[in-house]
Structure formats: C-alpha cells, structure tokens
Chain A
C-alpha cells in the first residue's frame, strides 16, 4: 500500500495534496462558508481559466522550456477572435473554439520557431514575444475594451445547478472545458509515446536527439499546445467576464507559473504531472479563497502565496540537493 502510494504520487504532489487537505479541513472548521456547495463551485468557476493555462504551461515545463508570453497571447486571441467573429456574423461556440485554438497555436508556433530554429533559450524568446504580443495588442486596440460580444459568447451556459440553503450553487461551462483540457493533456503527457518523448527530451535533450526524436516537430507541438490552451482559456475568460479588456490577463503568467512549479514541475524539464499542476492551482486558489472568507486583507494574499512557494520549493530542493550529493558519490561517472 505504502509502495503504491509512493509510485502513484511524486513527493511534491503528495505534499501538496496533504497540505491542501489540511487547509481545507482547517477552513471548514474555521468558517461556515467554505465547505458549501456554492463556495466550492465558485472556486472551480473562478479558476477554470488558470487551470487551462496551467495545463498548457505544464507541457512546456516538462519539455524543459518556459513560456511567459501565454497570458498576453490569450488576450491577443480574445481580441482577434471576437473582432473576426463580429465581422463574419457572430459565429458560434464551434467556430469560436476552433478559431481560438488556431490563433493560440499559431502564436505558440512563433515561439517554437524562434526557440528551435535559432537555438535561443525559451525564456529570452518568450520575454521578447510577451512584449511584442502585448505591445502590438495595445497599439492596435489603443487600450479599448470590447463590450459588444456575440450573443452566444456572452451567455453563460449552466452545467449544474443546485438550490441550497445559501442560494443557488452553479457550475458553468468553463469547468467542463477545463476538465476536457485536463483529460487531453493527460493523454498527451502520460498516455502516449509522444508524451514519453516530451519527458525524455526534457530529461536529456541530447539523448532524445540521438534516439531519433523529431526535435523540431516536438517544439511546435509543445509550444503550440500551450498556445492552444491559452486560446481556449482566453475564450473562457471572455465568457466569464463578458468583455474583452486587452490588459486583463497581463501578469497572470507568473501566478500560473508559480502554481505549476508548486505542483512539482521542474524548471529544468523532465518532471511534472497533470495532477500536480491541478493541485498547485487549486492550493493557491483555496488559500486565496480562505483568506478572503476569514476577512484577511487581500494585500496579505500575495505575501502569503510567496511564502508558500518559498517554503514548498526550498524543502523540495533540500531533497534534490541530497539526490545530487548521492549521485555525486561516484563522480567518476563524469570523467571521460
């Protein structure tokens, strides 16, 4: 049983899961509002967008890359897709989703192209595209928001609704989309040969190349996947807030990155899981929600999130430093 638990959960995942359960129990005792259907549904509704971002980013991190342009890319997708759809009679959910995925994947493809073709590390490229995407968006939109949306997009689709003592508890469409993206990402990363190639490349790029992995194609797949997720997340966010504000998602990239890293994805590549990424986002969301319910100032939230990340990462690094030392017990392995 012990063994099963250990193979099923990576150390970081199990730690985050335990912490999450502890916080949730604490909040259920401390407040009478946390453990209500309404609050839990709202938590999911409010975090679907971040979860979709996180799933895309996870793939890039496991691959050994990083991307900080995805959040503003999502804003570009929102703007472009809404303008295009309005131009051509409004569209519908299908054309909207297809277009969002397409534009998002294309923006991710731009990152992939530069990273692979010019062999420049991903953080530099995506800092550049982050500025280009956002700069061009602000320039062409002149910072104007769009409030006139196609009717289908501004209507909220209800998945589940319960009548509870505190009022209606409702789960909306983005939650379902998020679940589907999680399933697809799980199938890609953990359920296919491609996924093993992605983990393999993130773990040892040179060995992957020698084994015949099509490295260029993999770059396009990975950054395109994040781009597509960003596109979907962008569309969902429009559906939730019912407007397109060009700088609404600016800065979201760091929140998502922190959550995914908290969930056990390693910046060097090779490690990370769908479960971990989801747990990371949910943990931070629950903390924020809890502080809110406890009446703590929202300013304290950022500081507390920072401390959680520091605590979680430094205790894990303790483990990995020990691992390095153990591997270092036979450093002759490095001699040629």
Chain B
C-alpha cells in the first residue's frame, strides 16, 4: 500500500528554504503532490506561497538544503525554468500573461512561434492545435477571436489551453477565480477536475476558502514562511482552515438589529437604462446595508450613480431629506458621500505615489495653509493619524502604495475617503484580493465606523460577507432590488443559493 502511493506522487519537495537578504521567505517547507491530485496551497499574503511556486518553477533558485523529487529517480537541489518546463511544470499567474492583440489560436500556440521563429506561420496548423486543446477541456471558443474581446473567464481558459499544449504534469494556478463570477468559477472548477482526471496535478492558490474546500483533496497551509501542515479537506470547515492560516479563530456573528437613526440616503425609483431599474433603498445613520448580487447585476453601476459618476434617467436621490442632482462626483463628495471602488488597483489608488500622497488626495484643499501652501507636514500628520486609526501596517509612509499588501492598500483607500469625513460610505467589494486575516481587520473597521454613526452601503457577491457584517441585506438581480433579508433569519448556504439561483 505504501509502495503504491510512493509511485503515485508527481512531486516531493523537502526542506524548501529561501532567504532574501536577511529575511527568511520560506523556512524548511515540505510539500507533496500526488499525480492527478487537486491540491490547494493556502496561506495569508506573505506566507510564502508565491515563493514556493517560484522555487518549483525555477523562477527563484532555492537555498541549499532544498530537495526536489519529481519521481524520475533524480534528486535536484534547485530548479531552472527550462528544467521545470521539461518536467512539465507550468504556472498560470494571476495576470495570465496573454497577448490581447493576438487571436485565441495564436495565444495558445505562442510557444511554437518562439521555438520556430523562422518557420512559416501556419495559421491552419495553429488553429487545429488550439482546437485540440479546447476540445480536451470541452469548451467551445472561437479560435479566431482576439483575446482582447474575451471575458476574464474565457481568457483563463485560453491560458489553461496554452499550458495544455506543453504536455503539463503539474499546473499551478495563482488566484484563478479572483475575478470570476460564481457561474464562471463553477465552470473553471469543472475544467480543473477534467485536468485532474487526465492525470495532471493541479495546485490551486485561492483566497476563497469555500471553493478551496470544494475542489481540492488536500490543502497545504503555510504561515509566515513555515509549513503549518498538509491536511485532507474532507471534513474540514472554513473556520478551521482560517484558524490554521491566521493562527486565530475569527468570530463570525450576525449583527444586531438595525439602528433606527435618521435616514441618510433614500432613493426612489432610481433607474438608468441598461444598468438598473426602479431602485428604492434607504440607509440610516449607523446602519450597514448589504447589497448582494453577482457581477453584472448592476451593483457597481448603482454605486457610481449614487456617487455622481453617472446620472440617473429617472428617480430621486435624497441625502438627509434633500433631493440631489449630482453633476459630478465632486458634488457627491461635497454632500458627504465617499465611494471605495472595487477596482482598487487602478481606480482607487495611484500605485506609484506614496502612501502620504494617496491619503491626502481627497482633502488637499483643507490641508492648505494660507489658502495656497501645501506643506509636507500637514500631509504627514493626516496620514500618520489614519495609519494609527486604521492600524495600517506600513514601514514608511513615503513608500509607494504598490509596496503594500492588498489588505493594507485597502486601508489606505479607506483612509483617503474617511479623511473627507463622509456621512455615507459606499464600499464596493472591499475585500477583493484581500486575504482572510486582513478581511477580518477591514470588517472590524467597518463595524467601528457604523457604530460611530456612519451610514454604509456594503456591496459584495459573497454571502458570508454581507451576512455577518450588514444589518439588512438587499438582493440585486439584473438591475433590480428583488428582495430583502434579515441576516438573523437566513443561513449562509440559503443566501448563497438564492444569489446564484
């Protein structure tokens, strides 16, 4: 029995260690992968997941003491990219590394263009090769479409097909579902199972614990560069996995009854053609209204209209009882509305600028001395204040925002908007790309803000997020609010089923 499992493994890594300067990024980690297994690599940001993948794929050279065994009887101390590729190790990074201006077929066959640069470009052959790969996954996709015209989910499939043409044995997928809707995620999981059935070992890196437990047979948990352990997923709960990753038990408790303060925001019959229709909502002081809906349900569009980025075709927006006609988001900001966009990386922050500059951006006018002089000191005082209040972890407030982890970047976005002291805070998918420990921290902040009297509109597509953090839940489907739920009267599973129905 033991012998049989031994001949079954695709990869065994022993004592994986990697040091950057005097920082130990990975400390004596063992990792085992069976052939055809779906395995999950879990851990918070900075726990060493990416470092481990890069050691295995040869992007980084492992420190002495590391052993790689691919079951071919040859032990290796370190990997090179070429060697990894020859052994069938492929990584699909989150950015997918596709070429938007090439067709699906050309993307899938790109490695051939590199290998046979001087050969004639045989359009027919590359289309046939691409079709074979797509057929293996059972996905119908037009091979002549440009990748720029595909959805993220379709691009993911193209990236997988490109890997399939290289005869893979081990495929790492970095956060493959971060930008997919539930239906698209389900489609991807079907594909992953197909790959596994064809004997390919798939290693999944994901922040979404529900899907981790659903798809994988075993999960290897890393924390602070060290191995916590490798566990079968059968019988494991999300709470337990969270505890393994973060080292603490995160409480999940439904909020108390809605506070009965003054109405901050009221909309009546708000509509915008093709985006949302007849939306009437109210949010009171100190209340968190959870707005749940799938990507494309119109939630972001609604938020943008509330924030003055687009104008409604019909209906009213009232702030504090007064009817509003926002001409731009500057009007909305003046009326005490703040909007934390779901696209933190591009819209929420200026990545190359410092934490200070990003934080001060919304309130530059109020920082001016004598009405025209902007001092560094004023900006720093403001930034330091918010760093302390939101418990942001930043080595230096002059660092560019891009140097921070997802959770801390999100705190900078929050700080930037909280500095405007808004009455209504719109949070659009505030935990995208934020790992599980940091999520809890962000929700802690949200609860504190609500307790201090701020009205909050929390937009999300994850049932657990709104269930445990909102006072009331509104369900949005194809542009309309179709139902309201009391978090105390519904379970996570029920809500999930309703959202995805």
Could you tell me which A residues sit within 8 Å of B by CB distance? 7, 190-197, 199-200, 202-204, 206-208, 210-213, 269-271, 323, 327-336
Contact = CB atoms under 8 A, between A and B. Distances in A.
A193 B343 contact: no
A192 B114 contact: no
A203 B114 contact: no
28 contacts: A190-B121, A192-B117, A193-B115, A194-B113, A197-B117, A199-B101, A200-B106, A200-B110, A200-B113, A203-B99, A204-B98, A204-B99, A204-B100, A208-B99, A210-B97, A211-B97, A271-B101, A323-B148, A331-B341, A332-B152, A332-B178, A332-B295, A332-B342, A332-B432, A333-B152, A335-B342, A335-B433, A336-B175
B99 A192 contact: no
Nearest to A330: B152
B452 interface: no
Interface string B108-146: 001111111111110000000000000000000000100
Contacts of A332: 152, 178-179, 295, 342-343, 429, 432
Contacts of A191: 120-121
A250 B149 CA distance: 40
B346 interface: yes
A134 to B, nearest CB: 33
Contacts of A271: 101
B120 A207 contact: no
Contacts of B148: 323, 327
Nearest to A209: B97
Given A192-B120, A333-B152, A199 B111 contact: no
B15 to A, nearest CB: 28
Contacts of B118: 192-194
A200 B442 CA distance: 40
A190 B102 CA distance: 11
B117 A194 contact: yes
A219 to B, nearest CB: 14
Given A327-B148, A329-B296, A193 B119 contact: yes
B428 to A, nearest CB: 10
A32 to B, nearest CB: 44
A335 B101 contact: no
B102 A203 contact: yes
Contacts of A202: 101
B94 interface: yes
* Interface hub of B99, B116, B429 (most chain A Cβ within 10 A): B99
A193 B346 contact: no
Contacts of B101: 199, 202-203, 269-271
Contacts of B346: 331, 334
Contacts of B95: 206
A200 B117 CA distance: 13
B490 interface: no
Given A270-B100, A330-B152, A335-B342, 15 more contacts: A192-B118, A192-B119, A193-B115, A196-B106, A197-B117, A200-B102, A203-B99, A203-B101, A213-B114, A329-B296, A332-B343, A335-B344, A335-B406, A336-B345, A336-B406
A192 B178 contact: no
A7 B144 CA distance: 8
Centre residue among B101, B114, B152 by max chain A CB count within 10 A:
B101
A320 to B, nearest CB: 10
Interface string B84-104: 000000000011011111100
Contacts of A7: 144
A169 B119 CA distance: 41
- The 6 A-B pairs with the shortest beta carbon distances in the complex, nearest first, are A270-B101, A331-B343, A207-B97, A193-B113, A203-B101, A335-B433
